[in-house]
Amino acid sequence: MGARADAFDLGQLALSSGEGRRLELEVPFQSFDFGGQRYGTRDEQVPAVLDVARTTHGWSLRLRGEVALEGPCMRCLEAAHPAVVVDSREIDQPGGGEDLSSPYLSEDELDLSGWVRDAAALALPAQIVCREDCLGLCAVCGENFNTAGPEHAHEPEPDPRWAALRELKLD
């Protein structure tokens, strides 16, 4: 198990240009909103591997890990456990313009927590489900089709035209 790190001071590594270091860290995970629902992790921290390389004037960084998320299934609202693989790179080259500036780095301080959360959110599938064949909720009464059983059904609404016909008195 690595050291706990919300933010990590790259300067403390005292790397010179061309040198690199691989670090195993425990990164605190902040929950986030996705598709109107809230997703987080069961454990407060997620294990991650950070590769740091010192370039001539900046940093080349890679963050990897597996994040076991928890949050509601988008079909039935029961608990879902999407696991995402994070593999994200950042380059920071002072004076190199916006493309070469990492939003997670200020001076030599790396916002690991923000980076791993954003990378996990980006790696999520478009729809989070408790299982691939989740049947969702009944549109009429909201019952969970996964547990309701195949006989769950509602009487179709009577067609208003038939009601009008029934009121016709045929002599």
Q: Which residue ranges make up the site for Zn ion (CB under 5 A)?
A: 73, 75-76, 130, 134, 138, 140-141, 143
Q: Residue 4: which of 22, 24, 25 has the closest Cα?
A: 25
| Nearest-angstrom CA–CA distance, 1 and 21 | 17
Q: Between 141 and 164, whose beta carbon lies closer to Zn ion?
A: 141
| Nearest-angstrom CA–CA distance, 20 and 54 | 6
- Are the C-beta atoms of residues 40 and 70 closer than 8 Å to each other? yes
Q: Between 73 and 116, whose beta carbon lies closer to Zn ion?
A: 73
- Are the C-beta atoms of residues 70 and 80 closer than 8 Å to each other? yes
Least Cβ distance, residue 80 to Zn ion (angstroms): 6
What the block records as the tokens of 108 is 């030599």
Q: Between 141 and 170, whose beta carbon lies closer to Zn ion?
A: 141
Task: For residue 47, give the 3-state DSSP assignment.
Answer: strand
Q: Between 53 and 129, whose beta carbon lies closer to Zn ion?
A: 129
